[in-house]
Homo-oligomer: A and B are copies of this chain.
Amino acid sequence: MSLAIISPGRNPKVWIDALTFHEPEIDIQVYPDIDRPEDVKMALLWQHPPGYLSTLPNLKLISSLGAGVDHILSDSSIPEALPIVRIVDEKLTWSMTNYVVMGVLNFHRQITRYQADQQRKVWDMSKPEIPVKVGVMGVGALGGDVLDKLSYMGFPVFGFGFSEKRDFRYPYFPKDELKDFLAEINVLVCLLPLTPDTENILNLELFKKCKPGTFLINVARGKHLVEEDLIPALDQGYLSGALLDVYRTEPLPASHPFWDEKRVQLTPHIASVTNPQAASPQIIENFRRLKANLPLLNVVNRPKGY
């Protein structure tokens, strides 16, 4: 009974080391060198070749190597009955929150304008704190923690999502109330899962419903944002700036207009990176539960897409 790592283009060594540290006897096979496909019962996936899983006749469980599973669900060849689990990692949440809070505070304090002043040796105190109300799209483990931390720091916060939620601990807007949600806020954080409902949700039509000068933070998936709509939304004043960590094509191509756009701050998909040491115990635990036929951890709801 072996575990397959199918993560083309990434170095699997950190995962092998971490998994072996937690379960020294584990039998791991790594794509493309899977010599005994019939032994593979569980597969760890990150951007696997679509259709490849049909070569594993005894596969019983799929695990994402991260929090997202859009890269798995987009492969329509995967049988409906095959369970999918994902990584739920406090460290992932912690990193994501710190990144988003950093982005909110840098906007609130106008730090990039002070940085520009320093370069020109200008002493100008007249950049006051921008009053900030933060709206988070997607209020799961990640979005909920962002809301908790920003609320504790004293910022008004609002949630938005695709489910009805009663008694949520902050003001919450379901999908039919997107316009009301956007009317409350001036910082928009996208932490949605990528599903057919949410793909391309950050588009010019949405930006036109924002308060003028809203600041966008996208830390979810590149496909949430219609990239060609961002600079027009800035030019037309719906948005005043953006902090992006994810892109439709990664690495971001050198020819992409975002690189040169001063109003857009870029980071290279580092807001929250799955840590193999932190994630391995739950992968091992699911591998054991699979063997023992026990209920799995962090199972994905496939119709919902997360």
Binding site for B on A (CB under 8 A): 94-95, 97-99, 101-102, 105-106, 108-109, 111, 114-115, 117-118, 121, 123-125, 127, 129, 149, 152-154, 250-252, 254, 259, 265-270, 273
Q: Decide if B111 touches A102 in the complex (CB within 8 Å).
A: yes
**A123: chain B residues within 8 A (beta carbon):** 250-252, 268
Cα-based distance from A127 to B94 in the complex (angstroms): 17
Asked whether, in the complex, the Cβ of A129 is within 8 Å of the Cβ of B95, the reply is yes
| Cβ contacts under 8 Å, A254 to chain B | 121
Contact A265 B115 (CB under 8 A): yes
Given A98-B108, A98-B153, A109-B99, A124-B265 contact (CB < 8 Å): no
A270 contact set on B, CB distance < 8 A: 114, 125, 127
Residues of chain B with a CB closer than 8 A to A152's CB: 149, 152
Contact of A105 among B102, B127, B154, B267 (CB under 8 A): B102
A268 touches B114 (CB 8 A): yes
Contact B115 A106 (CB under 8 A): no
Who on chain B is nearest to A117 by CB?
B268
What are 10 inter-chain pairs, A to B, with CB distance below 8 A?
A98-B153, A99-B109, A101-B153, A114-B267, A115-B265, A118-B265, A123-B251, A123-B252, A124-B268, A127-B270
- Name which residue of chain B comes closest to A100, CB basis: B105
- The residues of B that contact A95 with a CB separation of less than 8 Å are 129
Bound together, the chains give a CA A88 to CA B246 distance in angstroms of 43
Q: How far is A104 from B148 in the complex, measured between Cα atoms in Å?
A: 19
Q: Which B residues touch A106, using CB under 8 A?
A: 102, 106, 111
Query: Which residues of B are found within 8 Å of A127, using beta-carbon distances?
Result: 270
Q: Which residues of B sit under 8 angstroms from A129, Cβ to Cβ?
A: 95, 98
Q: How far is the CA of A27 from the CA of B265 in the complex (A)?
A: 51
Contacts of A121 in B (CB 8 A): 254, 259
The chain B residue sitting closest to A273, CB to CB, is B125
Let me know if B269 and A154 touch, CB within 8 A.
Answer: no
A102 cross-chain contacts in B, Cβ below 8 A: 102, 105-106, 108-109, 111
Q: By the criterion CB–CB under 8 Å, are A268 and B105 in contact?
A: no
